[in-house]
Amino acid sequence: MNTPAIEVRGLRKSYGAKAVLDDVDLTVDAGTVTALLGPNGAGKTTTVHILSTLVRPDGGTALVNGCDVVRNPDGVRAAIGLTGQFSAVDRLLTGEENLLLMARLRHLGAKRSKTRVAELLEQFDLVEAARKPLATYSGGMQRRLDLAMTLVSAPSVIFLDEPTTGLDPRSRHTMWDIVRSLVADGTTVLLTTQYLDEADELADRIAVLDGGRLVAEGTPDELKRLVPGGHIRLRFADAARLDAASRLLGESARDDAGLSLTVPSDGGVGTLRTVLDRLDTANLEVDDLSIHTPDLDDVFFALTGRVETKGTES
């Protein structure tokens, strides 16, 4: 296992004048999970699409299992599986027929196809629904079928593009269990997510993308050290008080429209007391106060100095 499962160097892609990926480097070791973390429009999906040969890069190289995505796409395709944000199932067929279709296209042979499909239906809790049309499937069931279809041929590298977006909490945990068992079997997983807790739960390493650039890369613990416990959010009655508090507290981000101030904090009582003491001394009244534990917004705040992470999907 000396060659990394995924090796990306100087990857570039732009649509028109808009650079979607700008010089991205990424290495994923075989048998590990890497999470691509970032807001909408950061370039996560584009990265996954390039690695799964759906989109051609404008520059740089990308190797999956040692195969170049541009020069040897079929080599890449033989080794990968992709479960995207959009349901990649045939909605006119039943669940079982969908799995059989995949088994045939992966040339498993009639007997192996049958056993493999039965196995997957069992593992993904779809036995009862196997012969029903997909119209009767819930969102969680469709997502499970989608992933089961990806796994028919047991690919060695799996891309999961926002696997839990839009799922209810129970389905989300089921999906996490599935990912964990995949990794236990030695599969390499690259997943994209907007949620720090998801990356934290599943990933060995996290790569943070913002506006097409890789802004941080490391283990979840390393990243969390950049965000030492979230922030305190203070709301004031008027702009004058907001101004004064902003000057007083220095290292903070202000939101003029909401008359609020975001102060980084390690989550401890000490920081909170210090902040309140300083406001008290200056006789600044706080209308509302809330404490936030770290989430993606905080990672972004720490990495880019911006609070806002909302963007448009590429």
Burial of residue 305 (number of CB atoms within 10 Å: 0-12, 13-18, 19+): exposed
Q: Which of 32, 47, 52, 262 binds other proteins (CB under 8 A)?
A: 52
Minimum CB distance to other proteins, residue 136 (Å): 14
Closer to other proteins by CB, 87 or 165: give it: 87
Minimum CB distance to other proteins, residue 210 (Å): 23
β-sheet bridge partners, residue 22: 12
CA pair distance 110, 146, nearest whole angstrom: 21
Please report, as a single letter, which amino acid is at residue 240: A
CA pair distance 177, 182, nearest whole angstrom: 9
Q: Which tokens is 119 given?
A: 């196995």
Q: Which stretch binds other proteins (CB under 8 A): 50-58, 223-231, 241-249, 293-301?
A: 50-58
For the beta carbon of residue 294, count every other beta carbon within 10 angstroms: 21
The site for other proteins, by CB under 8 A, has a size of 54
**Unique residue bearing structure tokens 């370039």:** 43
Q: Does 53 bind other proteins (CB under 8 A)?
A: yes
Q: Does 156 bind other proteins (CB under 8 A)?
A: yes
CA pair distance 249, 262, nearest whole angstrom: 10
Q: Does 29 bind other proteins (CB under 8 A)?
A: no
Burial of residue 285 (number of CB atoms within 10 Å: 0-12, 13-18, 19+): exposed
Q: Does 92 bind other proteins (CB under 8 A)?
A: yes
Closer to other proteins by CB, 143 or 254: give it: 143
**How many CA atoms does the CB half-sphere of 132 hold within 13 Å?**
13
Closer to other proteins by CB, 49 or 254: give it: 49
Q: Which of 2, 16, 17, 74 binds other proteins (CB under 8 A)?
A: 74
Q: Which of 10, 31, 78, 246 binds other proteins (CB under 8 A)?
A: 78
CA pair distance 15, 8, nearest whole angstrom: 20
Closer to other proteins by CB, 6 or 279: give it: 6
**Residue list 188-247, contact with other proteins (CB under 8 A):** none
Minimum CB distance to other proteins, residue 73 (Å): 8
Q: Which of 178, 196, 202, 279 binds other proteins (CB under 8 A)?
A: 178
Say which residues have a Cβ less than 8 Å from residue 177's Cβ, sequence separation at least 6: none
For residue 309, the SS3 value is coil
Closer to other proteins by CB, 146 or 210: give it: 146
Minimum CB distance to other proteins, residue 289 (Å): 42
**Unique residue bearing structure tokens 């949620």:** 195
CA-based radius of gyration for the chain: 23
Minimum CB distance to other proteins, residue 166 (Å): 14
3-state secondary structure 30-90: CCCEEEEECCCCCCHHHHHHHHCCCCCCCEEEEEECCEECCCCHHHHHHHEEEECCCCCCC
Q: Does 278 bind other proteins (CB under 8 A)?
A: no
Site for other proteins, rule CB under 8 A:
49, 52-55, 65-67, 72, 74-82, 84, 86-93, 97, 101, 104-107, 116, 119, 123-125, 133, 149, 151, 153-156, 174, 177-178, 181-182, 184-187
